[in-house]
Amino acid sequence: MARERGLYQRKDSPYWWIDVVLPDGRRVCQSTRLKDRDAATEFLIRLKADAYDAQQKPLQPDRSWKEAVLRYVGELDNPSRLVSSRDHLRQLDPFLCELMLNEISMESLQPFIRHRKDVEGVTNATVNRALEIVRRILHLARDEWGWLERFPRIRMLSEPRRRVRFLSRREADALLEALSAHLRPVVSFGLATGCRMGEILNLEWHRVDFDRRVAWLDHGTTKNGEGRGIPLNNDAILALRAVEGDHGRWCFTYQGKRMERVGSGWKRALRRAGITAFRFHDLRHTWASWHVTNGTSLQELMELGGWKSYEMVLRYAHLAPDHLSHAAARIERTWEIVESNSTKTLR
Domain boundary assignment for the chain: 7-56, 65-143, 169-324
Fold adopted by 169-324: hpI Integrase; Chain A (1.10.443)
Q: Do 320 and 294 contact (CB within 8 A), yes or no? A: no
Q: Which residue has the higher pLDDT, 245 or 12?
A: 245
- The alpha helices in 105-183, defined as continuous H runs, are 110-114, 124-143, 169-178
Evaluate if residue 328 carries a pLDDT over 80. no
Confidence of residue 59 (pLDDT cuts 50, 70, 90): low
pTM of the predicted structure, to 2 decimals:
0.59
Phi and psi for 250 in degrees, rounded to 5? -90, 140
For residue range 24-44, list pLDDT tens digits in order: 677 888 888 888 888 888 888
DSSP 185-236: HHHHHHHHH---HHHHHT-BGGGEETTTTEEEE-TTTSTTS--EEEE--HHH
More confident residue, 32 or 237: 237
The 3-state DSSP class for residue 250 equals: strand
Strand order in the sheet with 214-217: 208-209, 214-217, 228-231
Mean pLDDT along residues 294-303:
89
Whether the Cβ atoms of residue 237 and residue 186 lie closer than 8 Å to each other: no
Please, what's the b/e burial string for 205-229 (b: 16 or more CB within 10 A of its CB; e: otherwise)?
Answer: bebbbeebbbbbbbbebbeeeebbb
pLDDT of residue 317: 79
Exposure of 309 by Cβ count < 10 A (0-12 exposed, 13-18 middle, 19+ buried)? Answer: exposed
What is the C-alpha to C-alpha distance for residues 161 and 125, in angstroms, rounded to an integer? 10
**132-146, 208-222, 326-340 — most confident range:** 132-146
